[in-house]
Structure 1
Amino acid sequence: MTRPAFDLSLYLVTDTALCGARGVAETAAAAARGGATLVQLRDPLAKTRELVELARALKAALEPFRLPLIVNDRIDVALASGAEGVHIGQKDMAPADARALLGADAVLGLSVGSLEELAVSDLAPVDYVGIGPYRGTATKQDAGEAIGLFGFRTVREKIDLPAVAIGGIKAEHAGELIAGGADGVAVVSAICAAPDPEAAARDLMARINAARG
């Protein structure tokens, strides 16, 4: 097995509450039909067994689209479910330790929100970075202060790895972030809370592609 290819263009981060009765797996499948390129399972309130079951259901839902599944923080859940990778934050396990547990064939992402965080981050084991929060976000209480477009660009230009913008991003922000150096945008409520996740994803991808010219 080799490390799977991944595309950061439209990165869906799930929110179980916002997905509501439709469910995380169906929301992700709808987003994939609309053009989403990568999915991260994030549910900090779920117990371990529940999270593993959710990850397996999500992985099965994404299989027809050949989209990798990334699990937020929980390396144990990623390993148990066969997910393709893990995304960690500044307060989670160190990247080198995460890589040692995951092995060479997993995708590893790291959140970076400032030049100060970048200065203390070991990017050697990392495949991509998530830069933000771009705007204030209600879906992640510990996300830190919004950095805006200037803050995003300031961090982005110091990083050679692929980078995705995250944090409070709506469809109308996609173009300026792509123009600002993002390889993609990560969204939560813009898809999970949308009445039609497939249409929301399609609109986002159209804006991303238009910004790329």
Structure 2
Amino acid sequence: MRLYALCDQDMLNEKSITLETFLDIAKSHNAEVIQYRNKNADIAFVKEQLIQIRKQYDGFLIVNDAYELVEFCDGVHVGQEDLKSIDSNVLQAVKILRSVIKEDKILGISTHNEEEVLQANAMDINYIGLGAYRNTTTKKDITNVLGKNLDTIAAKSKHHVAAIGGVKLNDSFENVAYHVIGSGLLP
């Protein structure tokens, strides 16, 4: 299993966990990637957090949504709704994003079903997040839980797949490159 650690600021605040503690936990599990997600802070705070993470962590650092901060990390992850806020045509939205973040940066998007995975196959991206695998506490609005079907759908992707949504360290997949785990890492 390869670990992609989701560092959600709301989760840290809710559990009274410092950023430094989360990073120590992620590193103790050999996380290859850390995604920093903060849906509520201003861009200056997100930038400060990315700089702090970079000081303590030397693996791949991905920012959620804030593509304007890509210079402070290795790439960007964007959800379907956030893509649609860039352009109603998600294929065009990815082209716009790629023109902003350039080829030397990682670009990943969220997918939730086979149709979105097949659509992503035509995109210039590095990976997809696929899920939710099961219900999770970090996202309250999950409407589509894939369960065991996640692995079958993942097999249809030409990109690396990161299983998202309620994934645990001991989950096993055949067609998934990364387990994305957030609160599941915390005590």
TM-score, normalization by structure 1? 0.75
Q: Distance in 2 between matches of 1:123 and 1:32?
A: 34
Read off the aligned partner of 1:100 and give its amino acid letter: S
Instruction: Work out the CA distance in 2 between the residues paired with 1:71 and 1:107.
Output: 10
Structure 2 unmatched ranges of 5 or more? 84-92
SS in 2 for 1:92: helix
Structure 2 distance, partners of 1:162, 1:132, is: 14
**8 Å contact kept, 1:95–1:123:** no
Which residue, out of 66, 69, 93, partners 1:74?
A: 66
Q: In structure 2, what is the Cα distance between the partners aligned to 1:15 and 1:153?
A: 25
Equivalent residue number for residue 39 of structure 1: 34
Q: 2:86: which partner in 1?
A: none
Distance 1:165 1:99 in 2: 23
- Describe the shift of the 1:38–1:159 C-alpha distance in structure 2 as closer, same or farther (beyond 3 A): same
Distance 1:12 1:157, change over 3 A: same
Contact 1:26-1:61 at 8 Å conserved across structures? no
- Distance (Å, rounded) in 1 between the aligned partners of 2:122 and 2:44: 31
Q: After superposition, what is the alpha-carbon deviation per residue over 1:22-74, rounded to whole angstroms, capped at 9, x for unaligned?
A: 31233123311331111000111111111111111111111xxx301000111
1:49 to 44, 57, 77: 44
| Counterpart AA for 1:74 | A
Q: 1:11 to 1:153 in 2, by over 3 A?
A: same
Paired residue for 1:99? 98
- Encode CA deviations 1:85-117: one digit per residue, 9 max, x unaligned: 001111223221111100111001111110122
Letter in 2 for 1:16: Q
Residue 122 of structure 1 and its aligned partner are, at CA, apart by 5.9
Kindly state the Cα deviation for residue 147 of structure 1 after the two structures are TM-superposed. 0.8
Give 1:145 deviation, angstroms: 1.4
User: Partner residue of 1:199?
Assistant: none
SS at match of 1:134: coil
Equivalent residue number for residue 188 of structure 1: 182
Residue 156 of structure 1 corresponds to 154
Kindly state the Cα deviation for residue 123 of structure 1 after the two structures are TM-superposed. 4.0
> Aligned-residue CA RMSD in angstroms?
1.9
CA distance, structure 1, for counterparts of residue 162 and residue 111 of structure 2:
10
Letter in 2 for 1:113: H
User: Matches of 1:56 and 1:156 in 2, distance apart?
Assistant: 33
> Which structure has greater strand proportion?
2
Larger % of helix: which? 1
Identity of aligned residues (%): 27
- Tell me if structure 1 keeps the 8 A contact 2:75–2:106: yes
The CA distance in 2 between the partners of 1:29 and 1:78, in whole Å, is: 23
**When the two structures are aligned, how many residues end up with a matched partner?**
176
* Aligned-partner SS, 1:14: strand
Q: Which amino acid aligns with 2:182?
A: V
2:2 corresponding residue in structure 1: 9
CA 1:158–1:135 in structure 2 vs 1: closer, same or farther (change >3 Å)?
same
For structure 1, the residue ranges without an aligned partner over 5 or more in a row are: 1-7, 196-213
1:119, CA displacement in angstroms? 4.1
CA distance in 1, matches of 2:121, 2:68: 21
Normalised by the length of structure 2, the TM-score is: 0.85
